[in-house]
Amino acid sequence: MVAEAGDIVELLTAVDSHEPDVVVLEGRSQLDHVQELTDIAAALVVLGDVDSTTHWIRFTQAKVYSLVHCDDPEEELVQAVRRATDGTGYVSPGLSGALLKFTRAILPRHLSAVPMDVPLTSRESEVLQLVRRGMANKEIARRLGLSEKTIKFHVSNVLAKAHMASRAQLIASAAAM
């Protein structure tokens, strides 16, 4: 099944109607709608240009599994969709260099483990690991058999204990673990 949507409202309606496994998005047009994208159950593939890599952290708030440069051959998009479907993720060669350069520019030189004044509970540790895998609250809730509100509570506790302001910081800190 393939469907096309002209805006975020049409996209969300199409996703509700068709329940796709993967949604391919044009990156720049969806930047303002990252929050709405976090509730989509489908894996997301973002099609963009080198400038789109500067927004990749915002896309990690949604369930983006693959990034593809808009000028890459269509085989790259096919590969990205396949990898998003199996959950492994993909960054096309056209974006990988820019993404690495951007990541190096925003991350501190020496990453350290998440500083914790108060130890995490076993459930908070479990939620942290799933957040670091890029899973959305809704997806974590389903996997753990908990409510989304409970997951939000655990994520808030982890952020407070880690002295971090965002999920993106938690995900970035995973490289040090």
The total of other beta-carbon atoms located within 10 Å of residue 110's CB is 6
Q: How far apart are CA 48 and CA 105, in angstroms?
A: 20
Residues of the chain with CATH 1.10.10.10: 122-176
Residues of the chain with CATH 3.40.50.2300: 8-106
Q: How far apart are CA 161 and CA 143, in angstroms?
A: 23
Assigned CATH for 122-176: 1.10.10.10
Q: How far apart are CA 66 and CA 115, in angstroms?
A: 30
Q: Span 30-42, mean pLDDT?
A: 72
Q: How far apart are CA 55 and CA 71, in angstroms?
A: 18
Q: Which CATH class is domain 8-106?
A: alpha beta
Tens-digit pLDDT profile for residues 41-81: 888 888 877 666 666 666 666 678 888 888 889 999 999 99
Give 111 or 32, the one with higher predicted confidence: 32
Give SS3 for 15.
Answer: helix
pLDDT at 82 over 50: yes
Tens-digit pLDDT profile for residues 134-147: 888 999 999 999 99
> The whole model's pTM is what?
0.55
> Could you tell me the pLDDT band of residue 3, with boundaries at 50, 70 and 90?
confident
The distance of Cα 121 from the centroid of its chain, to the nearest Å, equals 24
The residues that bridge with 38 in the sheet, in sequence order, are none
Give SS3 for 141.
Answer: helix
Judge residue 78's burial from the number of C-beta atoms within 10 Å of its C-beta, 0-12 exposed, 13-18 middle, 19 or more buried: exposed
Whether 67 and 99 have beta carbons less than 8 Å apart is answered as yes
